[in-house]
Chain A
Amino acid sequence: MISLGWTGRLVLIGVPFLWLTLFFLLPLLIVVKISLAESTIGIPPYTPLLVNHEGGVELHATTANFALIAGDDLYLRAYLGSLGNAAVATALCLLIGYPVAYTVARSQGARRHLLLFLVMLPFWTSFLIRVYAWIAILEPNGLLNQSLMALGLIAARLPLLNNQFSVELGLVYSYLPFMILPLYGSLSRLDRSLIEAAADLGARPLRAFLGVTLPLTLPGIVAGSLLVLIPAIGEFVIPDLLGGPDTQMIGKVLWDEFFNNRDWPVAAAVAVVLVMALAVPLLAAQRFLERGHAA
């Protein structure tokens, strides 16, 4: 690698760079372009941005799609609803994931390998099917209602599916491993002697946890939160399968705008606003992931 020439370097960096430019960065610009177009009936179903007009080229851009998004309550509610759902899911993942990651990080040898394997396994199984599995459990006639009634804990069936509760449950369930893994990474690197030192100096366990463990595992907390929060905001499958009419999330709005209303420019405008809203956490995510590599 050391004597790699200029051509070698160019291929090594250039090929994947070109690929990502073509298939990730350029498409994002095209989304911006089409968000400024008008919807028409035809193939493709949007107006061109540059029109040949009497020898010259004219720019035909409209901000009507953005005005529509700003004016219609539906979109604002969906954006805020997504943000709220994702934020609650992130907090719950942290609350459930931290004790799990802590225990895994403190176990030894083969047991630790097994537990880590159990955390990773859901990554390898179908996301769609794991969400779908909850339908049978949460249905009005489903397993959970039946068991609770058989135990005499409830008198009537609870509405468990197609509401806020089921969406939140689905988000936490699906994204929990994404929280546990970075937390585990931070916790397993933690120097145990620091906690012992705190104890020797008279700190009670809670104090030592709050003063030593928690601050030192902050990078894991932030990385895990971003890995849950950002994809959860744009989630489509969970609100579609587990949600109801009053649990609109922006990923589903975008999908419906595209597939049901066939309004590509509005779908593109929804995407542009979403990317802009995500830009700050995205850049923060990159910094954190980069720092993780540097460490």
Chain B
Amino acid sequence: MPSRTAGWLGVGALTLGFGFLYAPIVLLVLYSFNASRLVTVWAGFSTRWYGALFHDTAFGAAALTSLEVAAMAATLSLVLGTLAGFSMARFHRFPGRLVFGFALLAPLVVPEVILGLSLLLLFVACESWFGWPSRGMLTITVAHATFGACFVSVLVRAQLAGFDRALEEAALDLGARPWTVLTRITLPGISPALVSGWLLAFTLSLDDLVVASFVTGPSATTLPMAVFSSVRLGVSPEVNALATLFLCVVLLLVAFAGWLMARTERRRQI
């Protein structure tokens, strides 16, 4: 293939691919500033839906619940996922490694309806045996931490695979205690995986509708649940405004993570 044709084909593929991925999101952002309630009419620029959104206490409460659950679930995921990632990367033989590996990877692909239903049935059984836990934020957090940990473990494992173990051995040879090696060499070395793992678990939790709908009780409504019950009735301009705000927050978080990783990368090179 002559390289110019290949170049044009490449540009075409990228334009189509990214156009497809981003056009709906861009349109959503535009419509959030539409003065009309209808998507069919552009009635001029307005921020009225943002005002309406801020006065909607149901969305506000749901957002707080979601943020609280996501922060707890992400932290729990980080601890569990890091332990699991270490185990799989460093210990190549232990009893049950095959089952452990399966249990770590399966939640990445198993349909959410199955994860949700199975966890709910566990929580209901627990409640009838021990009278605990009552369903709500706690059960959502546990459910989210379970699949969050699997994602974190994949990232940690991949980063450890590329980690130079000679650094740890050198530190040990120089008389450092294992704990010091862990906190001063290994953990800083895999910090990009830890940061992106926490953020990934956080956004996955913030985004989850299906699992949370199954395991929640009457006391807790998360943001996706509130959004879902409102969009089921059709297009809602307040949801457009909410989506735009959400997008801004995500962009800021991703930019922050990118800056953090670029900084650690630079430091390592010095």
Contacts and interface: CB of A to CB of B under 8 A. Distances in A.
A99 B109 contact: no
B18 A118 contact: yes
A84 interface: no
A90 to B, nearest CB: 13
A242 to B, nearest CB: 11
A210 interface: no
Interface in B186-218: 186, 199-200, 203, 206-207, 209-210, 213-214
A17 B90 CA distance: 15
B104 A230 contact: no
B224 to A, nearest CB: 5
A222 to B, nearest CB: 13
Contacts of B169: 2
Interface of B: 1, 9-11, 13-14, 16-18, 20-22, 24-25, 27-28, 31, 39-40, 80-81, 83-84, 86-88, 90-91, 94, 96, 99-115, 117-119, 121-122, 124-125, 128, 142-143, 145-146, 149-150, 153, 157-158, 161, 168-169, 172, 178, 181-182, 186, 199-200, 203, 206-207, 209-210, 213-214, 224, 227-228, 231-232, 234-235, 239, 243, 246-247, 250, 253-254, 258
B109 A135 contact: no
Contact of B101 (A27, A99, A259, A290): A290
A17 to B, nearest CB: 5
Interface of A: 1-4, 9, 11-13, 15-17, 19-28, 30-31, 34, 44, 96-97, 99-100, 102-104, 106-107, 115, 117-118, 121-130, 132-137, 139, 141-143, 146, 173, 176-177, 180, 205, 226-227, 230-231, 233-237, 240-241, 251, 254-255, 258-259, 264, 267-268, 271, 274-275, 278, 282, 285-286, 289-290, 293
Contacts of A139: 39, 235
Q: A interface, by DSSP: helix, strand, loop or mixed?
A: helix
Contacts, number: 256
A267 B121 CA distance: 11
A29 to B, nearest CB: 9
A23 B161 contact: no
B94 A13 contact: yes
B125 to A, nearest CB: 6
Contact of B24 (A21, A107, A133): A133
Contacts of A278: 110-111
A27 B178 contact: no
Contacts of A141: 39-40
B21 A122 contact: yes
B111 A30 contact: no
A135 B231 contact: yes
A2 B232 CA distance: 55
Given A133-B24, A231-B111, A2 B172 contact: yes
Contacts of A126: 206-207, 224, 227, 243, 246
Given A117-B254, A231-B109, 6 more contacts: A12-B86, A16-B83, A20-B84, A23-B122, A97-B17, A230-B109
A9 B40 contact: no
A255 B27 CA distance: 30
Q: For A17, A251, A267, which residue has the most chain B Cβ atoms within 10 angstroms?
A: A17
